[in-house]
Amino acid sequence: MKRFRYKAKEKSTGKPVKGVIQAESERSAGQILVEQGYIPESVKEDGVGLFGVRGRVATKSRIMFTRQLSILIGAGLPLVTSLRTVVDQTEDKAMRSVGEDIIASVESGNPLYESFAAHPDVFDNVYVSLIQAGEASGTLDNALKRLADQEEKDAAMLSKIKGALVYPAIILVVIIAVLAFMMIMVVPEVQKLYADMGEELPGLTQALVNLTDFFADFWWLVAIVLGATVGGLYYFIKKTPGGRKVMDSIKIHAPLFGGLFRKLYVSRFARTSEMLLATGVPMLESVKIAIASTSNTIIEGEYTKCLDVIKSGKPLSEALTDVNYMLPLVPQMASIGEQSGKIDEMLGRAAGVYEEELDNQINNISTMIEPILMVAMAGVIGIVVGGTLLPIYSLVNTVAS
């Protein structure tokens, strides 16, 4: 079906309205508007962006959309009115376009969760399942609030992890810049000085000269090889199952960061399970969706083994006990929850513990990386400086003697 942007007036009040509607043609779109009690003024087919491609929805925009919708529905406004109000307040063009699609789908008679599910690139299975459960139980506003809260936590945690990697990246750029300056500006001058004196360059300096000459003569080859390598790695990691599996394995086994990512995936599993169970999603379905929410193929493969145990009738705590990469607090808290009848609450507490540990661990890693990088930078720069200044001192001593 096509999307049509319309302007119309309400028959009863004459109030102007505008929005997007889905229909087979412009004429059928106008007929739908009349049936809904509007007087169409203009109906035009709507594109979604350059070359018909919709832009990427920012996480911040999705969180704001979800929270505002939760507040309006909780205040008692009708669903379509709430959606239209939120869309009108949305500044992100991509999110606005998605919201207009959702309104058109709901006005066509589709359930809200199906309207969200039509945009899997924006709303994942966790989101859609919570919407579906909230609709069925009459707690849609609470489901949306839980989603917004969790997405804010996830965004904050990922921001901290990325922030911990920013400093190493800056140091690496500084090292490369210093090396480039020394090899382009200083090393050639040392070479000329030795040539004028008729002296032979020391071994380290000669190696730096050879390296400088190589980059000067074959920079195009270096650029091609570097570009092909980066492009190939990107394609392998992002576009092939094998590449994603390799990258996911590196994340959970890498020194220093492996433990951090394991806690991230475990806390994400526990927190998602808590949200789904609290909203009324059945246990097996909740665990399936929570496993998929980890977004790591290695973790998913290991956690999936617990599904057969749950299907056999055993409790979640027992199913998670021997699962690889599952940290022990989760099955322990699940067991307490099963005994007290508050398994969702106990899983949430386990997630909270690991989220706090993650926060502390990220801060510790940031503190540890700084001196290590400073030593590495000093070592690399020391080699270059040694290869340029020591020959000069040697020449001075030679002349003096």
Q: What is the pLDDT of residue 73?
A: 92
Distant-in-sequence, close-in-space partners of 353: CB < 8 Å, separation ≥ 6? 329
| pLDDT, averaged in runs of 10, over the chain (401 residues) | 74 78 74 80 64 68 92 91 90 87 85 88 85 84 87 81 76 80 77 72 76 83 92 88 90 86 90 87 89 89 92 92 91 93 92 88 77 78 72 66 56
Q: Are residues 23 and 139 in the same domain?
A: yes
d(CA 316, CA 269): 13
Q: Are residues 130 and 160 in the same domain?
A: no
Spell out the alpha helix ranges (H) of 75-139: 79-89, 93-107, 112-117, 125-137
Q: What is the pLDDT of residue 36?
A: 78
Start-to-end CA span in the chain (Å): 90
Residue 227: strand, helix, or coil: helix
Are residues 358 and 263 in contact, defined by beta-carbon separation less than 8 angstroms? yes
Q: Whose structure tokens read 């475990």?
A: 266
Among the three residues 113, 148, 183, which one is the final residue of a domain in this structure?
A: 148
Are residues 95 and 54 in contact, defined by beta-carbon separation less than 8 angstroms? no
- What is the sign of the dihedral through the CA atoms of 375, 379, 384 and 388? positive
Are residues 227 and 237 in contact, defined by beta-carbon separation less than 8 angstroms? no
Q: Are residues 300 and 166 in the same domain?
A: yes
Structural domain count, the chain = 2
Q: What is the pLDDT of residue 30?
A: 77
Among the three residues 113, 133, 148, which one is the final residue of a domain in this structure?
A: 148
Q: Are residues 206 and 297 in the same domain?
A: yes
Rounded to two decimals, what is the model's pTM? Answer: 0.69
Give bridge partners of residue 45 from the DSSP assignment. Answer: 4
CATH number of the domain within which 131 lies: 1.20.81.30
Cα 120 versus chain centre, distance = 15
Q: What is the pLDDT of residue 188?
A: 79
d(CA 2, CA 311): 43
